[in-house]
Amino acid sequence: MKMLLLKGQLSRIKKIYEADKVGITGQQCLKLILRVKKMYEAKSFMLKILRLVIKREELESSKTPDQLVLSGLTGRILSLIDILQDEHRVFKRPFVIQGMDYVQRLRDEYTKLNKEFFDHFQVEFESV
């Protein structure tokens, strides 16, 4: 705690929660603070993902969805879910929305959108 310059904060936390009576050490307190910080980061990732999911679903249900924007949102959602699952082992389970594995659904749709895009524009690459 001295190295992190948190000795003052630790003494205040111990005083507020009467940690000396319970026997909480500085190391235990630091572990708890770090866990809370990780869960806060996970919560912000989840909120970003859910906002993008809502935006994507609204765009998909519109009369003329922009396929390029839809493809971009799909890729962004997939990458955020992958980051969340890599950084927070609690979330390594399937990402289920409305009773289905949302990641698998997005990957299927993303593959379909990319195929349509490349078929429509006939993109060819030349080797130099």
- Give the relative orientation of helices 67-87 and 102-121 as an angle to the nearest 10 degrees: 140
Cα–Cα distance measured from residue 73 to residue 102, given in angstroms and rounded to the nearest whole number = 14
Residue 52's pLDDT band (cuts 50, 70, 90): very high
- b/e sequence 91-100, b meaning 16+ C-beta within 10 Å: eeeebeeeee
Instruction: Find all residues with CB under 8 Å of 20, minimum gap 6, and list them.
Output: 14
Q: Do 48 and 87 meet the contact criterion of CB atoms below 8 Å apart? A: no
Residue 36's pLDDT band (cuts 50, 70, 90): confident
| pLDDT above 80 (res 29) | no
Share of the chain above pLDDT 90, in %: 9
Mean per-residue pLDDT for 39-61? 90
Q: Is 39 helix (H, G, I), strand (E, B) or coil?
A: helix
